[in-house]
Structure 1
């Protein structure tokens, strides 16, 4: 053989030796890995034969369960170290799922694995000393080269720490929920306590302002200051309480189809006097076809009024405000409020939705809290909408909201028949109507007495608690009942439920007049059966309009509307 041939053979031998060395190294590495897995104390490895009898019980299983391998191998199956009630529950669940009977025991644990589906589940391991701990276990079927199941592999990890974290989290959530409920109750109580004295201040100030004889110019200036400060304080109370409710997650919304035409008509009525005082012309869209959005009616109106009020307040003298509606898609509509004010630069736009930030308007004569736009943004988002702004310095701004459109819904027939009453007052009836006022606060009673004294068509009866109010309602059959919520004995909520359930009084419209003004309180009152829900402090025009509407309804002697409108 030539030297070259000898070298070729030697090279081939060397290469073969190198491959064999690498193979041996790989086997050693694989063996080391297998040994590390089987001797690991961090998780249990249990292998069984096809009948479920344990054949392998690693160091981790020994540490976790307290058994030595010799005590369990070829002697028991995994069902014996599991909580029997959990094994029974698994068997029952599988029986229902597969419409067949599954025998409790290892068969129930390994059923899915035997069909080629790895099963991972939570269970409780029972140790040799009787102690227990939660575990997460995966079960895999082991098969030979022909696909026949020859056993099962169970890999388990201790789940105690995770369970402890879950328990701690649930406890923390329960504490947080309790704190939220306490906060909500506190807000409701605080709202009532703040509004009650404001009701007297604003109510009597309005009486002086519109009384006879007319106040002197000096008195008029003083009354104007009282009213201006009082209404501003009320606005501040409302906005802070609303913001606190949203932040605590306790603000409830009633999302339903809402007619944009109706809401905008109400908004137009509410802002027209503000616009007229400032010489601002406000233009609203005309709807040729019905247009309904998915929203909370009261909150949508609050959002639109806030945007319109800002557009009027921060406009130029003699400016304009234009409200437009544009379909951005078949399912979405954009409502734009366009003004001719000074406009906003990018830096101010970036700060728009920060609480208590008035963008440098603190020195302005215009009153504000810096909360309105924050509330508007969060309310719109809670209703599934969006808000944005476009502005050019020196030309004006466009604030827009987008809402989801929804199918048209017809108004309740009783509400439809009463709708004209919203547009005009009821003519004075020569026959005196009877109003029963159930109220325990002397100042509130005195205010309503002074208001009713201006109505020659209404005579006033009063009761100081819910029980006597119900008795007087049955005896005198008044045309209207005006009722406080926080009454001695039984609450106004309970009283109106009793009145609604009694055939003698079920037809009488009961109007709530309460300082409980949080939306949850209003919704609770409306669900109880109130015809309308007015909040203190009293707005005289709103109060009189509600009386007229209730009187018109009382003439029908019909059952109350099942979905009465909220007045907040």
Structure 2
């Protein structure tokens, strides 16, 4: 069997598992409501409906991520190239985060003021990285997003947290579809698709993304992008 076929079989198996978990929860609570509704209190009914709602949202997010991943693999993704004024774009992105008050934005003097890239796709990647950083960090800690220039003049954006961290042997594997570290799976829910999508999007924009340890504990994700992706 070819490597691509093995990958497809593996993805299908994991997808099946990821779909079955929320579906089983939904089915269980719907069945309970049907059989025991007359004896349940209003609070219990609200609790069951809340679980069904959460698991339904989980299925929707998984379906959206799978479609995005499939489009990226099939090279069907449309990438736009437009001028992005860096500081206002990053400020708006932080403001739109539900927990954006915990995010500190730093922009070095050498950072390019404007880049040519896809604002929607870049925003999708950075929102994913910041959301993950906040999710896997203590609520009292601060997440930092830093923008600067690389050694060849490219834009470098780092998302820095002081959370649970990622072992050295797993820092590349976290970009594989559905892969989650054991500590990450214990700490919060997730599909394991966000970082796989982030890497494919950044590569489509002509850049790269890596993970490394944050000094003192935590993880730093570093995105490198050409200042003018349209020229590549």
Corresponding position of 2:56: 230
Deviations 1:62-116 (A, max 9, x none): xxxxxxxxxxxxxxxxxxxxxxxxxxxxxxxxxxxxxxxxxxxxxxxxxxxxxxx
Corresponding position of 1:239: 65
Q: Secondary structure at the match of 1:364?
A: helix
**2:84 aligned with 1:258:** yes
Deviation at 1:360, TM superposition (A): 1.7
Determine the C-alpha separation between the residues in 2 that align with 1:268 and 1:392: 21
Deviation at 1:324, TM superposition (A): 0.6
Deviation at 1:218, TM superposition (A): 4.8
Runs of 4+ residues over 4 Å off in structure 1: 216-220, 286-290
User: Which of 127, 146, 164 is matched with 1:324 structurally?
Assistant: 146
Determine the C-alpha separation between the residues in 2 that align with 1:251 and 1:223: 36
Bigger-Rg structure (1/2): 1
Corresponding position of 1:9: none
Determine the C-alpha separation between the residues in 2 that align with 1:394 and 1:261: 28
Unaligned runs of 5+ in 2: 1-41
Corresponding position of 1:386: 208
Corresponding position of 1:351: 173
Residue 236 to residue 284, structure 1, CA distance change in 2 (3 Å): same
Q: Is the 8 A contact 2:162 2:214 kept in 1?
A: no
Larger RCO, structure (CA 8 Å, separation 6 or more): 2
**2:115 aligned with 1:293:** yes
Deviations 1:397-438 (A, max 9, x none): 11010112249xxxxxxxxxxxxxxxxxxxxxxxxxxxxxxx
Determine the C-alpha separation between the residues in 1 that align with 2:148 and 2:184: 34
Q: Is the 8 A contact 2:108 2:148 kept in 1?
A: no
Determine the C-alpha separation between the residues in 2 that align with 1:252 and 1:384: 13
More helix as a share of residues:
2
Deviation at 1:234, TM superposition (A): 1.9
Deviation at 1:269, TM superposition (A): 2.7
Deviation at 1:332, TM superposition (A): 0.9
Q: TM-score, normalised by structure 2?
A: 0.70
Determine the C-alpha separation between the residues in 2 that align with 1:311 and 1:362: 11
Give runs of aligned pairs for residues 274-285 of structure 1, distance below 5 A. Answer: 274=99, 281-285=102-106
User: Which of 170, 182, 185 is matched with 1:360 structurally?
Assistant: 182
Q: Is the 8 A contact 2:82 2:118 kept in 1?
A: yes
Q: Is the 8 A contact 1:344 1:392 kept in 2?
A: no
CA RMSD of aligned residues (A): 2.7
Q: TM-score, normalised by structure 1?
A: 0.30
Q: Is the 8 A contact 1:282 1:320 kept in 2?
A: yes
Unaligned runs of 5+ in 1: 1-215, 408-568
Deviation at 1:219, TM superposition (A): 5.7
Corresponding position of 1:144: none
Deviation at 1:232, TM superposition (A): 2.0
